[in-house]
Amino acid sequence: MMNLVVNIVQIMIVVAIIYPGYYLWDMSRVEHLCQSIEINTHVDALKALVNEANLDVDINEVDSELTSNGKWQANLAARSSLSGYQCHIEGYAGKVASAVIIEQ
């Protein structure tokens, strides 16, 4: 029984050492990508940029269709964040209008 407790404590220590590094790396990836998104970037180019960075994008249409005159928004969330750290992107007619970092 004592051996099991020691193993669990060792695992917790390893996680406590590794997680902060992963957290900082993941947050910097999202921030760097968000800063590199330019206004008037087409949605297809945005998706390619996100795929190249190995992140996930969630695009929600607000009005109509993306390729017409519809408004849309997207979020690039850091996988490691418990605080909701993400890049919030808004666009119109298939092109980026703004990209900002937010914490929810």
Residue 62 is predicted with a pLDDT of: 56
Residue 63 is predicted with a pLDDT of: 52
Stretches in the chain below the pLDDT threshold 70: 61-69
CATH topology of domain 2-103: Beta-lactamase Inhibitory Protein; Chain:B, domain 1 (3.30.1450)
Considering the entire predicted model, what is its pTM?
0.77
**Pairwise CA distance, residues 18 & 12, whole Å:** 10
**Pairwise CA distance, residues 59 & 47, whole Å:** 10
DSSP-based three-state secondary structure for 64: coil
Domain ranges of the chain: 2-103
**Pairwise CA distance, residues 17 & 43, whole Å:** 38
